Amino acid sequence: MQFGTDLRNARADLIETAIASGTLTIRTGAPPANCAAANAGTVLATVAIPADPMTAAANGVKSIAGTWSDAEADATGTAGHFRIHQGATCVAQGVCSAVGGGGDMTLVTTAIVAGQPLNIRTFSTTEGNA
């Protein structure tokens, strides 16, 4: 099945709506099996996601708007995955990597140090079935 660009953009917009004003946590280790599974790993950083967190969809792709950041990381460790919550409900999760590492979310480095600032460099979602 193939979807037109307008439908792919609309689907991408739904993801932004789901994560807007949520909470992003960067954690150690591999992500849980799915979003319904319990949280795993140590929380290294906590980021308040802005109300308008992503750029306008183009060709089914939405990307981070600006920089999402945590002024002071919560703990020291190696970032392995992230989870995005609305309240207690996980709405998205994925793998973290350093720039060029191919993760779903890119950090300057995966070596997080407590008390140091953390900036999310890239995060995007692409709707398939083009």
Split at pLDDT 50, 70, 90, the class of 67 is: confident
Task: Report percent pLDDT > 90 for the chain.
Answer: 88
pTM for this model (two decimals): 0.92
pLDDT at 76: 98
Name the domain count of the chain: 1
The parent domain of residue 53 ranges over 5-126
Pairing between β-strand 89-98 and β-strand 105-107 as defined by DSSP bridges: parallel
The helix/strand/coil state of 120 is strand
Task: Report percent pLDDT > 70 for the chain.
Answer: 100
Split at pLDDT 50, 70, 90, the class of 60 is: very high
Q: What is the pLDDT of residues 95-109, one digit of tens each?
A: 999 988 999 999 989
- In angstroms, the Cα distances linking 74 to 44, 77, 92, 117 are 5, 10, 21, 10
What are the DSSP E strand ranges found in 7-117? 23-28, 43-48, 61-63, 68-70, 77-86, 89-98, 105-107, 111-112
pLDDT at 66: 85
Rounded average pLDDT over 26-34: 98
CA atoms within 13 A on the CB side of 117: 7
Rounded average pLDDT over 42-48: 97
Amino acid letter at 47? V
Instruction: Name the residue among 55, 60, 54, 64 with its Cα closest to residue 6.
Output: 60
